[in-house]
Structure 1
Amino acid sequence: MRIQSLAAVALLSAISLGASVPAKAANPAHVQRLLKTGECLKCDLSGANLKGAHLIGADLRNANLKGANLQNANLEGADLTGANLQSANLKQAFVNSTTLNNANLSNANLSNATLYSAELEGATLIGANLNGTDVFNTNIGVGGGE
């Protein structure tokens, strides 16, 4: 009986590890459109690697950037109103005059980022990492969505 129990545990472990649903990935056409035109409203950019991207003035309203890598990205003047940036990596990102109203920044990594004159009205920052973030003329004190 003991061997059968161990076999059942091993089988369940293999099923849970091997049969897991892969994470949703960015739509490659959306990534190319963003990088080429600077516009990608309601795009699926979840998990996209945009490390060091120059997204100055980009229109990313209501885009899905969940889990995206935006480390060292330049988001100056970008519009991310209503964007989903949950668990996104914005480490050392330059977020100057960026609109993040009603954006979801839950569990986002904003460590060592530059937040100058950013608009965060209605944004959710629950669990966001702001260690070492340089904040100027930006209201991130209260609010925070639902």
Structure 2
Amino acid sequence: MKGYFLASLLVFSTTCFSHTYSNPTHMEQFKKTGVCENCDLSGINWLSTNKEGAIILSNSNLIRSSLDLLGSFNRQYSNFSNIVGLRLSMSYGDFSYSNFANADLRNAHLINNNFTSADFTSANLTGVNFSGTNLYKAKISQEQLNSVSELCNAVLPNGQESEC
């Protein structure tokens, strides 16, 4: 009985208190190439790449990560489809025409970005902060917009500016 209790306690504590950490090989790959599909890049502060232009992170884990643009603000046509980006932080980038379809972006901070004509089809945007963001002509539903936490001074898909 004592052994069963200790085994149960071990399983419980491992499940409840474990943290996910990024894969260093994946981090290096993304830094060099700007491409890392199906990668674990979770929990990285100042995730960056030396590559200019579009980046590809489809199907990757970006939970609690922060994307640093390192002075390269043009990330048009990037692919973030199917990412898990809970509490992801990205700001001041141009992600026009980028793909965020089926992404899980709950509670992400996506402030002051340009998402003109970006595709958010079936993305979970619950609790997202889109303050100061340009969503002009983005593929995003009214239901998705209703689920975000903040749209202060954002340009909406119809071109109107939201109020605070």
Q: Shorter-chain-normalised TM-score: which range?
A: 0.7 to 0.9
Residue of structure 2 in register with 1:87 after alignment: 87
- Residues 59 and 82 in structure 2, CA contact (< 8 A), matched pair in contact too: yes
- Measure, in 1, the Cα distance between the counterparts of 2:46 and 2:120: 21
* Runs of 5+ consecutive residues of structure 1 not aligned to the other structure: 1-15
Aligned residues: 126
Q: Shift in Å at residue 52 of structure 1?
A: 6.2
User: CA separation in 1, counterparts of 2:44 and 2:76?
Assistant: 19
> Is the Cα contact below 8 Å between 1:62 and 1:80 reproduced in 2?
yes
Is 1:59 the counterpart of 2:56? The answer is yes
Separation in 2, partners of 1:70, 1:95: 12
Distance 1:35 1:91 in 2: 18
* CA distance in structure 1 between the partners assigned to 2:86 and 2:143 by the alignment: 17
Residue 109 of structure 1, CA deviation = 0.4
Equivalence for 1:24:
20
Q: Judge conservation of contact 1:100–1:120 (CA < 8 Å) in 2.
A: yes
2:33 match: 37
CA RMSD in angstroms comes to 2.3
- Partner residue, 2:102: 102
Contact in 1 for aligned 2:43/2:63 (Cα 8 Å): yes
Instruction: Give the Cα separation in 1 of the matches to 2:47 and 2:57.
Output: 16
Percent identity between the two aligned chains: 28
Query: How has the CA–CA distance of structure 1 residues 39 and 72 changed in structure 2, closer, same or farther, with 3 Å as cutoff?
Result: closer
Question: Given the two structures, how large is their TM-score scaled by the length of structure 1?
Answer: 0.74
Whether 2:43 is the aligned partner of 1:47: answer yes
Residue 71 of structure 1 contacts residue 92 of structure 1 at CA under 8 Å; is this kept in 2?
Answer: no
> How far apart, in 1, do the equivalents of 2:60 and 2:32 lie?
16
Higher RCO structure, 1 or 2 (CA under 8 Å, sep 6+): 1
Q: Radius of gyration: which is bigger?
A: 1
TM-score between both structures, scaled by the size of structure 2: 0.67
Return the structure number with greater strand share: 1
Equivalent residue number for residue 147 of structure 2: none
Distance, in Å, in 1 between the alignment partners of 2:82 and 2:52 is 17
